[in-house]
Amino acid sequence: MRGQWAIENSSHHIRDVTFAEDACTVHSGSAPRAMATLRNLANGALKVAGADNIAKTNRAIRDLPERVLPFFGISYEPDTSGN
């Protein structure tokens, strides 16, 4: 039983610290459950991709969103011509 709580506390801690889940203002309908699902999906995708530090990887993706594209097999080559 303690193992289940350790997993639950770990998952909630990651979601709260990384995505500020407790400060989220989404409260109506099924939106809170959908947001929790999206947060879990993001955390799971980063873990499967080999991210050691979820928070650090999340900040790196937040700062340059195109960094997430290779996770989905999409190549990104920025247009440096300025057009």
Q: In the prediction, which pLDDT does 4 show?
A: 55
| Residue ranges covered by each domain of the chain | 2-72
Q: In the prediction, which pLDDT does 6 show?
A: 59
pTM of the model: 0.63
- CA dist 22 and 25 (Å) reads 9
Q: In the prediction, which pLDDT does 27 show?
A: 79
Nearest in space to 14 (alpha carbons), one of 41, 49, 50? 41
Stretches where the chain sits below pLDDT 70 are 1-10, 82-83
Q: In the prediction, which pLDDT does 9 show?
A: 58
Maximum distance among all alpha carbons in the chain? 58
Q: In the prediction, which pLDDT does 7 show?
A: 54
